Structure formats: structure tokens, C-alpha cells
Structure 1
Amino acid sequence: MNTDVHAPDEGQYHPEDVSVLARLFNGLRNRIRNNLPFTLCVIMPTFLTALYLILIATPQFISEAHFVVRGRSGQSGISLSNILQSSSGGAGATSENTYVVQDYMQSRDAAEILIKQNHLLDVYSRPEADFLARYSLFGLGKKFEHFYKYYKRHVIVEQDTETNISILTVRTFRAQDSQQIARALLDAGENLVNEINRRQRENLIHATAMEVDAAEAKLRDINQKLAEYRNTIELIDPMRQSVPMVSYVTSLQNMLTSTNMQLSQLRASAPNSPLIAAYQRQADILADQIKKSSGQITGPGESLVPKITGYEDLMVQRDIQQRVLASDVASLEVAKQQANQQMIYVDEVAQPNMADWAEYPRDTIVLVVMFLSCLGLYIMGKLLIASARERNLH
């Protein structure tokens, strides 16, 4: 008896296959029906999330920049040793200024500047962006406060606690947009630091500069009074101009002394000499001249003594004011040096990069979080329902 075994034809209809598929479909349907709450609460949200991530979600690119805020030091440039030194030794005021720059980059002011100068609203409303990721969701919430909350989710500034290096991350729908926004934020932070330096310098120098101006004004006033006084007494320098007059009176007194000595000798040796009258007249003339010249130097009225006294008083005032001005100028230089030493700078450790691929959305993480969240809610719901049933039974 010959029996021929024929291989099944691939294109031939087999009812057994249909029945298998039907059993699988019915089994799946029964399983879904029996586990409908689990399917609706866990499987369906996770499945819809997966569809969104695969078919709808728009890639989002991150640009990252590293910077450090440091004070002025004797070393120029930036190096690893400078960064470590600034992060450990003198991290007081510098860290405080670092927090100021970080807070500013995530502030409303920075967001408004980016809106005006870099069209930030258009950046986050790109046509390729999906409806859940773009601003604003379904056209709702177009006030600035709504955008600011959206902005803080996409612009993040953090600090490495070990090195004190600040890390700026910007997330947009285009790699070039992320890089440009990060660059604009670094420039805005540098402008803020420059403004801080300007105000700090102005506060340190302003009071001392006002003292210098006041001292200069007083010195000019004294010089003006001195010039008016010289015009009044018609003398440039009464001190110097009195020296020849004093010398002249001294020479007259010497001549009078010599004449009186000769007159005394002549009276003693030749009492009847005709020269006695001549020496006497000469002595009288010298005495009269000494009296007149001395009256020009001392005494009330137009003598030199009152003029010299007023002149010396003004000169003493000018000398004191010059010393005050010199002290104020020295204080001003010290204040300028102190202001220069307290200046801060933004040093860019890493420039804003242009991403080669999108880092968001992170599909695996989102799916896992969605599944675990739904599963947790499902389990909590079952526990609450079971607890309520037990209460009703009792």
C-alpha cells in the first residue's frame, strides 16, 4: 500500500490556522475583559504615551555651557588651579555673586530680555513643535507668568558643589536655537556683572571723590582770597618784599652806630672841632631815616606788619587745605584700588555647544515613569476599594 505524503501548500487555505487565531483573539479579549480596570488604568495610558513618544513628540536639543564667577586676582587668565582656588579659598563673596548670576539667568528680567532681543516666544512656538511641548498649550495661558513657568522648565542653571562651576542648560526644538539662547544668557550674565562692578565702584569712590571736589573748591576759594588780598595791599609777597626794607633799616642803624661812635670819640679828643656839628647832623639824619623806614615796617596804618599778618594767615590756610587735598586724593586712589580688587568677572569654562542629537524626550524613562505611576495609582485604587468593601461587609 503506497501512501503519498504531500507537503502543505503555502498558499492553500487551512481552517486550522483560522481557528488558532480566533482562539488567541478570544483569549486576549477575555483577558482584557477580565482585567479591564488594569487595562484602562495602566496599559492604556502607557500605550498612548508610547504612541505619543514614537509618532508625535518633537525632538528637543540641549546646549550646555560652563562658567565660573571669580574676583580679580594677581594671576591672569583661567586655569584649573585658579578654579580650584576660587572654589575653596576665597569662595565667600565670589560664591555669593555666582548665586546672583544664576538667579538672574532664571529671572523674569532675563526672560523679558530674551523675548525682546532673541524672540524667545517664537523659539518655543516653532511650527515643528508638537502640541504638548510647544508654548502655549492649545493656545491657552499666553500671559507672561505662564511663559515664565514654561521658561524655568527649559532653562536650568545648577552649580557643581565640588568645583563651584555653574552649568547652564537650555532646551529648545532646534540645536541652533539652544546654542543662541545659551550664548545670550551668558552675555546677559556678563552685563549684570559689569553693572554690579559699576555700582560697587561708584559706591566706593563716590564719597571720596566728593571730598576731593570739596577740598579743591575750598583751595580755589583761598587762592581767590589771596589774589584779592595781594591786589588790596599792592604787594605780591609781603614777606619777601619786607626783607630789603629790614636790611636797609639794619644798615642805617649800623651807620648810625658808627657815626655816634665817631662823634663820641671826637668830643672826647677834640671838643672844639668843627666836625662835631657835621657828625651830629649826619646822626640826626640817620635817626630820622631809621624812624621813617621803621614806620613803614611796623606800626599801625600802612606798615608791612598788618599786611604780613593777613598774608601769613591766608598762606597758612592754603597750606592746610593743600595737605587736606593731598590726603583726599590719596584716599581716592586707595578707593580706586580697592574697587578694582573687588571687581568680579564671568569666565567661561566651556562655550555653549550645538547638540548633534536630541536628548529629549527620553522615551524609556518617560515610559517607565508612566507605567510605574499608573501601576501605583491602580494598586492604591484597588486597596481603597477592597477596604471599602470590607467595611460594608462588617
Structure 2
Amino acid sequence: MTTQTTEKRFQELKQELTEEEFNDIKFLIAKAQQVEANDPDLSARILVRVNNLRRQKGKVERLNPAIHSKVNKTKKAPTFNQRLSQLKKSPFVWFVILPTFMFALYQSFWASERYVSRAQVIVQQPDGMATMDASMAVLSGLGVSNTGISDTELVKAYIMSNDMLMYLNQKLDIATHYAQTSIDIFSRIDEQASWEDIFDYYLNRIDIYIDSNSNIVYIETQAFDSKFAHTLAQTIVERAEWYINSIGHQLANAQLEFILQEHENIEHKLQEAQTKLLSFQQRFNLLDPTAEGAAIQQITYGLEGQISAKEAELKGLTAMMSSNAPQVIAAKTTLSALKSQLDKERAKLSDNENNVMSVSEILAQYTDLKVKMELALQAYTSSQISLEKSRIEAYRQLKYLVVVEAATEPNEAKYPDVFYNITLFGVLTAMLYVVGRIVLLTIRELK
């Protein structure tokens, strides 16, 4: 009973196999090894068939070549249905050929065409001299330039920013264009998509490239309509130009405000120095303390000399005459007048509170105040020159976005690249299939 059951299964296996497989020794050995774990009886029966084929092969080889040729001719070639059945059972068909075929149909007949508009821009800045004197530049620090971020990178960052997308959506309603129902489902964006999804989709539809040699910014925009792609690229260029110009104006205004503030501070210091010098002159009633002090000092020295001579003369007269003598009285009167004049001259060097100061002290204070005023005047002159220059140079330092190539209006769709996409998809699926087969065979080998 068991033998009959085994023979029945062997006959069923024979019907499942093609004639070529049923007569292939290697194939039958592999088949016997495959079913040995689940059905050892069937495996033994297959090996019997293998032994019979080996004996038959030995007899055929002993035939002469003519008969051997006739035997080979009698072998039937596999039919079309048999070959089709073999293909249906092949995993390569299901995992590589069929997906590639479906992807090819999608790319050829269903995928929506995308148009690409290009534009080229560059950031330029007019040449200009420094807007401040060397002393002011050192004090203010404006002579140090910041080259941490290039202007072209700034343009790229702004184009790929959320602010740019909000402006484009407000002006062009870009989200509605990319969500049209006429676009295939795999290419369009969902009408109910979140803003983050729209932003990611927008980044996938623009391409920004910066040439490191020329600093030219290349802008490419994709859209499902030729005119919209052109309008989108043109709008991006115009908005980027506005952004760069606005930054330039802000920097120019900030520089002018800083220089004006410094100029006001220097002007205040000059006024303060002038006020102190004027108050000092008014305090001692001196127009030019240097000249007047020297004159007063000379007069004082002369009076002191006359007083000394007159006192000596008076002592000589009193030694010979009485105090009521006309000569003694005249000498005393003259001496008194000289002393009175000396006190008057000394009083000129006293302040409002009658504090008498020496000529050297007055000259020292006056020189100090005058030096401070001269320094303040020099700083004010430099600041005034810098202010006038900065009013002109600040606007010469503005940066401008120069359009090298205006936005193009495409006549033909660039995407999808059907041949490239299908080839790439086929190669990738074949590679994945090979990797999967290797992994599967390795697992079976290790069992």
C-alpha cells in the first residue's frame, strides 16, 4: 500500500515536471534532496529514476555516433506552454521583470510632464573707499569685515526658506498648482497636506547651485506648466533681489546711525571743552593768559624793583632828615603808590573769590584746557569729514542682485526622463533581487 502511494506521488511529480527536467540527472538529484526531509520515500523513488537514467546514459554512449545523433533528434523540445509555465514559476519574473514593466507603463503613459525654468544671478557690490578716517575706523571697529557667510549662500538660504515659500504661495498660490487633480497621483501633493509637507515638496521642485569659481547662483524651478515654471523662476529672482537690496539698505542706515551718534558725542565733547576754556578766561578776566601773564609778571617784577629802590632811598633820607621833611614825605608817598600799584597788578591774577594764583599755575591750567579743546576740535573735524563721506559711501556699499540670465520659458518638458528612470529602476530591482537570493540561499545553507 505504501509503495503504491509513493508511486502515485512520483507520477504526480512527473506530470508537474517537463520532459527535460524529468530526464535531467542533476535536476532530479536536487529535487530528491529538496523533498527528502518531508517525504523520504518519494526521495528514494526519485533516486531510482536517477540510477535508471545513469544506466541508460551508459548504453547510449556505447552506441555509434550516428545512432547517438538520431537519439538526440528524437528528444522533443519544450513547448511554448511549458516555457510559459517555467516563466510563471520563476521569482525573477515576479520581483524584477513585472515591477519594471509596470514602472515603465507608468513612466511612459501616466507620469505627468514637468517643465524646468532656469535663471542665473550674481551678487555685485560697487567698489568704494572706506567711509571713515583711520582713527575713527580703529575706534569704531567698522574697518573689520565679516566674511563668515558669503552673499551667494545668503541668496540660496533665502530662496530655500519658509519666508520665500509663504511669499510665493501668497502671490502665485503655488500649493494649488502642485495639487491639481490633472497631475498624476504620485507627482502631485495632497490638497489637505500640512504646511510642512508643502515646504518639503517645494524643496524637491527647486534646485539651487552655486558656482564656486564665478559665484553665480543657478536657479531651476519645476512646474507642471511651462508658463507657471517661468513665472515661478522670475518671481523668485525678483524677491531675492528685493531681499538683498533691503539688507543693503539696513546695513547702510545702521552705519549712518552709528556715525551720526559718534559725531554727536564728539560735538558734545568739543562744546564742553570750549565752555571750560571760556569759563577759565572769564574767571581771571584774561583773553590770552600766556601773553597777559607774561606782561603782568614783567610789570610786577618792575614794580617790585622800584619799591625796593624807593625803600632804600627812604631809609637813607630818614637817617639824615626828620620824618616831616618834604623829601621823606615825598618818598613815602611814592613808595605807597608803588605798593598800591603792585597790589592792583597782583589782583588781576585772582578769581572772583579773591584767591590769588601764580602765573605758572594759571598758564598750566590754561594750557591743559587749550590742549583738550584742540584735541576735541581735531576729533570734530575728522568726524565731520567722515560723516560727509559716509553719506555718499554708505549707498555705494549697497549690494545688488544682478541677473545674468533671465528666467527662461521652456518649450519642452524635461521630466520625467523615461529611459533613464526605467533603466535605473530595473537595475535597482535586479540588484535587490540578487541580494535577496543570496541571503535566502545562505539561510537555507545554514539550516
The answer on whether the counterparts of 2:178 and 2:223 sit within 8 Å (CA) in structure 1 is yes
Q: Which residue of 1 aligns with 2:87?
A: 35
Out of 415, 419, 423, which is 1:368 matched to? 423
- Give, in whole Å, the separation in 2 of the partners of 1:299 and 1:222: 22
Structure 2 residue 157 is the aligned partner of structure 1 residue 106: no
Q: CA deviation at 1:336?
A: 7.2
Q: Which residue of 2 aligns with 1:322?
A: 377
Q: Which residue of 1 aligns with 2:270?
A: 219
Unaligned runs of 5+ in 1: 1-26, 75-91, 254-279
What is the SS of the residue equivalent to 2:409? Answer: coil
Out of 186, 202, 224, which is 2:237 matched to? 186
Structure 2 residue 218 is the aligned partner of structure 1 residue 167: yes
Q: Which has the larger radius of gyration?
A: 2
Out of 52, 57, 61, which is 2:106 matched to? 52
Q: Which residue of 2 aligns with 1:264?
A: none
- Give, in whole Å, the separation in 2 of the partners of 1:58 and 1:295: 106
- Give, in whole Å, the separation in 2 of the partners of 1:56 and 1:336: 61
- Give, in whole Å, the separation in 2 of the partners of 1:235 and 1:390: 117
- Amino acid corresponding to residue 35 of structure 1 in structure 2: L
Q: Which residue of 2 aligns with 1:158?
A: 209
Structure 2 residue 184 is the aligned partner of structure 1 residue 130: yes
- Amino acid corresponding to residue 159 of structure 1 in structure 2: I
What is the SS of the residue equivalent to 1:64? Answer: strand
What is the SS of the residue equivalent to 2:414? Answer: coil
The answer on whether the counterparts of 2:221 and 2:232 sit within 8 Å (CA) in structure 1 is yes
**TM-score normalised by length of structure 2:** 0.56
- Give, in whole Å, the separation in 1 of the partners of 2:157 and 2:391: 29
What is the SS of the residue equivalent to 1:58? Answer: coil
The answer on whether the counterparts of 1:238 and 1:304 sit within 8 Å (CA) in structure 2 is no
The answer on whether the counterparts of 1:215 and 1:324 sit within 8 Å (CA) in structure 2 is yes
RMSD: 5.3
The answer on whether the counterparts of 1:68 and 1:349 sit within 8 Å (CA) in structure 2 is yes
Q: 1:161 to 1:207 in 2, by over 3 A?
A: closer
The answer on whether the counterparts of 1:53 and 1:361 sit within 8 Å (CA) in structure 2 is yes
- Amino acid corresponding to residue 359 of structure 1 in structure 2: K
Per-residue CA distance 1:198-219 (angstroms, 9 max, x = gap): 4554666665543322111223
Q: CA deviation at 1:186?
A: 1.9
Q: 1:337 to 1:47 in 2, by over 3 A?
A: same
- Work out which structure has the larger RCO, using CA pairs closer than 8 Å and 6 or more positions apart in sequence: 1
The answer on whether the counterparts of 1:72 and 1:340 sit within 8 Å (CA) in structure 2 is no
Unaligned runs of 5+ in 2: 1-78, 129-145, 304-330
The answer on whether the counterparts of 2:127 and 2:397 sit within 8 Å (CA) in structure 1 is no
What is the SS of the residue equivalent to 1:126? Answer: coil
What is the SS of the residue equivalent to 2:187? Answer: coil
The answer on whether the counterparts of 1:50 and 1:367 sit within 8 Å (CA) in structure 2 is yes
Q: 1:206 to 1:33 in 2, by over 3 A?
A: farther
Q: 1:387 to 1:316 in 2, by over 3 A?
A: closer
Question: Percent same amino acid among aligned pairs?
Answer: 21
Q: CA deviation at 1:329?
A: 3.8
The answer on whether the counterparts of 2:284 and 2:350 sit within 8 Å (CA) in structure 1 is no
The answer on whether the counterparts of 1:65 and 1:351 sit within 8 Å (CA) in structure 2 is yes
- Amino acid corresponding to residue 34 of structure 1 in structure 2: Q
